[in-house]
Amino acid sequence: MSAVIKGIAVAIVVILAITTLYYFVENPGILNGVTSSGSYQVPSVLTTSFSRNFTFASSESFTFYLTPTVNDALQQSQVSNSHSHDVSVTTDTSDNRTYWKFSVGAGNSYVDINYNITSYGKSWQNIENSTGVPSQIPEFLKAEYDHHEYFNASGTNLEVINPSFFRNLTLKVTSNDTTVAEMLRSIYNYIVGNYNYNITYNLGNVPLSAQQVYQIKEGDCEELSYLFESMSRSIGIPSWTQYGLLIQETGGQVRLGEHAWVQTYIPLSNSSGNYVNIDLTVEVGGQDLGRGFLVKYPNSIVEWTDNGNSSAMVAYHTELTAPIGIHLTKEENDTVSSFNQSGSIALVQDNIFNLLMANTSRERR
């Protein structure tokens, strides 16, 4: 998919919009690269306004679904929609997700989505040396996430998250670790050091499973997240996917794409802990400096957080429902009207040096 125009022609009942990350060699969320002192900075705030214009040409009526960006502690969103006269819209909520359901008539029509976002960056590097162990993770998180998940749509029943397959590998990768933070970092290092980023969808835009990613040693943002989650869940550490948008400036152009990353929990004691972000695509296939570990970049914007329910995962990915035999084309044009990053979060210098030393001595598994 292009970051500017996306088009499809369909003749099936359910069409899935699978998450795609537009990968750039250097993450522009980093204000200053690693210096001679080993430090770097991440912007603390992003304010942006942009619009997504969807145009359709259809031989019959169909339904278009879109999940607006959320409001939470690290993100403030104002999202509105407008549309042509032959379109009606309702707001529905299910599986901790609010979404718009557009009923679109035959012929030519459009839907415009306008966003005003303030997003905040955050680093959790200060808890990387925490002593919390898996037994201190809340049981409700283990019940919600420590299991397999399936992508059961479009005639498939693909086991995208498969903890049992990865248990022996993960035990080997984390054999020298005792804390949750250490185990998560070892899994991160293993994936960054042994896999590459690539858009590798199967026929029908069904994502690769974690097992398939393991076999071919590459995947996109969503598929690499499934791999990480399969590994961490296999040793009793729940982790899950956050889905949304990535907006960033490269080569003087601001581009908008779809994105996914890992969220998990690091316990600090029996009764406290932190939810943290891990973005494998920041470094996968390149130099491992920990830039995607325990850092939330403000240009990653959340639409939905996986709740461990396979049917909810498929519902989020369902973009269109249409009659069999329909002739339908869809295009998306994105326009960014403002993009401003400010402030900075300095990542701890000693952490960077420790990472460099660890990577020098670590045997790639």
Residues 107 and 194 grouped into a single domain: no
Asked if residue 269 has pLDDT above 70, the reply is yes
The helix or strand, by DSSP H or E, that contains position 351, with its residue range, turns out to be helix 349-361
Residues 165 and 113 grouped into a single domain: no
The confidence band for 204, taking pLDDT boundaries of 50, 70 and 90, is low
Is residue 337 one of the residues assigned to a domain? yes
Average pLDDT, the chain: 87
Which CATH number belongs to the domain containing residue 75 in this structure?
A: 2.60.40.2250
Is residue 40 one of the residues assigned to a domain? no
Which contacts of 335-338 are long-range, i.e. CB under 8 A and separated by 24 or more positions?
335/50, 335/51, 335/53, 336/48, 336/49, 336/50, 336/247, 336/254, 336/256, 337/49, 337/50, 337/51, 338/47, 338/48, 338/49, 338/50
Mean pLDDT computed over 65-92: 97
Residues 82 and 183 grouped into a single domain: no
* Residue 11: domain span: 5-17+49-119+316-344
Is residue 211 one of the residues assigned to a domain? yes
Mean pLDDT computed over 93-113: 96
Higher-confidence residue of 221 and 4: namely 221
pLDDT tens-place string over residues 273-301: 999 999 999 999 988 888 899 999 999 99
Residues 186 and 226 grouped into a single domain: yes
Supply the angle between the helices 180-194 and 221-234 in degrees, to the nearest 10: 140
Is residue 109 one of the residues assigned to a domain? yes
Residues 66 and 158 grouped into a single domain: no
Residues 298 and 256 grouped into a single domain: yes
Is residue 355 one of the residues assigned to a domain? yes
What contacts 48, CB < 8 A, 6 or more positions away? Answer: 115, 116, 117, 119, 247, 336, 338, 339, 340
Residue whose C-alpha is closest to residue 298's, from 22, 27, 35: 27
Is residue 111 one of the residues assigned to a domain? yes
The answer, as to whether pTM is greater than 0.85, is yes
Report residue 200 CA to chain centroid gap.
Answer: 16
Residues 217 and 97 grouped into a single domain: no
Is residue 153 one of the residues assigned to a domain? yes
Residues 90 and 143 grouped into a single domain: no
| Residue 350 pLDDT | 43
How much of the chain, in percent, has pLDDT values that exceed 70? Answer: 82
Tally of domains within the chain: 2
Residues 224 and 351 grouped into a single domain: yes
How much of the chain, in percent, has pLDDT values that exceed 90? Answer: 75
Yes or no: say if 84 and 39 are a contact pair by the CB < 8 Å rule. no
pLDDT tens-place string over residues 11-45: 444 555 544 444 333 343 444 444 445 677 889 99
Token pair listed for 188: 């991160």
Is residue 100 one of the residues assigned to a domain? yes
165/210 Cα distance (integer angstroms): 9
Which CATH number belongs to the domain containing residue 247 in this structure?
A: 3.10.620.30
pLDDT tens-place string over residues 115-140: 999 999 999 999 999 999 999 999 99
Residues 201 and 274 grouped into a single domain: yes
| Residue 154 pLDDT | 63
pLDDT tens-place string over residues 147-192: 999 988 666 789 999 999 999 999 999 999 999 999 999 999 999 9
Residues 159 and 282 grouped into a single domain: yes
| Residue 24 pLDDT | 36
Asked if residue 9 has pLDDT above 60, the reply is no
pLDDT tens-place string over residues 232-256: 999 999 999 999 999 999 888 999 9
Residues 192 and 247 grouped into a single domain: yes
Supply the angle between the helices 163-173 and 221-234 in degrees, to the nearest 10: 80
